[in-house]
Amino acid sequence: MKRLWLVVAAVMLAACSKEEAPPEPVRPVLSIKVEALNEETLGRFAGSIQARYESNLGFRVPGRIASRNVDVGAEVEKGALLATLDPTDQQNQLRSAQGDLARIQAQLINAQANARRQQELFNRGVGAQAQLDIAQTDLKTTQASLDQAKAAVDQAKDQLGYVELRTDQKSIVTAWNAEAGQVVTAGQQVVTLAQPDIKEAVIDLPDTLVEQLPTDVVFQVAAQLDPSITTTAIVREIEPQAQSATRTRRARLTLTDTPPGFRLGTAISVTLSSTIKPRIELPISVLQEVDGKTRIWVVDPQTQTVSPRDVSLVSRTDSSVVLTNSVKTGERVVSAGVNSLKPGQKVKIDEESPQ
């Protein structure tokens, strides 16, 4: 009887020891929610916001620059004075032309008087036809000289007006190529103006990428200092030939809209993407190789446990993998620590895991 009690006591102790066995610990894991990719990124390139229309202005007459009235970055209205030349030469030309005009006007008065006298003498029958013809010819010649002198005066006035360089529309000064005191020739580029109303994005693309751009490529433009300022763009033009030094081709993009933050000269980042067939791309850390098979660990959100799942790869790089439809959008898979998991193991999703 005593031996029977000892057996019962041993069984009870064994049962208590099993009940007191510590539960398997909950393992914290990093995980990622599966999302299908509908776009493929072709690259990201730096660029700037520039004016679509720029003009290079110069004086229409040669001379020495006397003053420069605005600085780079200044906004100027239509007709604003940008710079002036020393007007001495043009003023002298005007005075000379005006002197010639006065002299010919006096000659015209004499020619008119002589023609009237010869006409009166001829009418009374005491003048010769030859003298009348000569007087009338002199009158016509002097009249033509007067017209020429008036045109010379007008031209000299225009030349004097050309010593002032003015804008023909509202613009922003983007560059000066001459300073006060410098002698310039007629037509030499002095200042560059940009029209601020129409802006575009300008970037340099690798020549190899330009040749392979898909027709549905999307250009996403964002300000580098404030990435929240974004818009889209389309290609307006791409240089036909690559630059020999960089093997890049300059692309000018027409903006869909122009946010206020896109000022002239704003540094931008342009991301190129195109639409693709939906696919699942995950970091390579989700994979586990076991007995020649590739698998991932899927988290059950109801039970907070993990289970392995065999998968097939479409492609693989050093940092990511593309899977077939063996995993669905919205499922959560373990992204780190897969080699220490067991089927059915309880896990705790780390708070920093992507949602």
65 vs 118 pLDDT, higher one = 65
pLDDT at 64: 95
Question: How far from 268 is each of 184, 190, 199, 217, 221, CA to CA, in Å?
Answer: 37, 29, 13, 18, 7
Per-residue pLDDT, 23:
60
Rg (CA), the chain: 44
**Fold of domain 88-161:** Helix Hairpins (1.10.287)
CB 306 within 8 A of CB 343: yes
Q: What is the pLDDT of residue 273?
A: 85
Answer yes or no: is pLDDT of 3 > 60. no
Asked if CATH classification 1.10.1060.10 holds for the domain at 58-85+164-194, the reply, yes or no, is no
| Residue type (1 letter), 260 | P
Half-sphere exposure of 67 (CA within 13 A, CB side): 9
Query: Is the Cβ–Cβ distance between 337 and 348 less than 8 Å?
Result: no
Query: How would you classify residue 247: left for phi > 0, otherwise alpha for psi between -120 and 50, otherwise beta?
Result: left
| Rounded Cα–Cα distance for residues 184 and 35 (Å) | 64
Write down the domain spans for the chain.
23-36+279-349, 41-52+197-277, 58-85+164-194, 88-161
**Two tokens at 213?**
């751009």
User: Which CATH number, 3.40.50.1100, 2.40.420.20, 2.60.120.260, 1.20.120.1200, labels domain 23-36+279-349?
Assistant: 2.40.420.20
Six token digits for residue 120? 């009166």
pLDDT for res 20: 52
CATH entry 1.10.3720.10 includes domain 41-52+197-277: no
193 neighbors 78 (Cβ within 8 angstroms):
no
Quickly list H helices, the chain: 2-19, 88-124, 129-161, 207-211
Q: Do domains 41-52+197-277 and 58-85+164-194 have the same CATH topology?
A: no
pLDDT at 15 over 70: no
Distance CA 52, CA 74 (A): 18
% the chain with pLDDT above 90:
46
With cut-offs at 50, 70 and 90, classify the pLDDT of residue 194.
very high
At 269, the amino acid letter reads S
More confident: 293 or 83:
83
pTM for this prediction: 0.60
The whole-angstrom separation of Cα 175 and Cα 80 is 16
The pLDDT of residue 202 is 95
What's the sign of the alpha-carbon dihedral 343, 346, 348, 349? positive
Select from 340, 349, 345 the least CA-distant residue to 307: 345
Res. 2 pLDDT band, cuts 50 70 90: very low
Query: Residue 192: its pLDDT value, please?
Result: 94
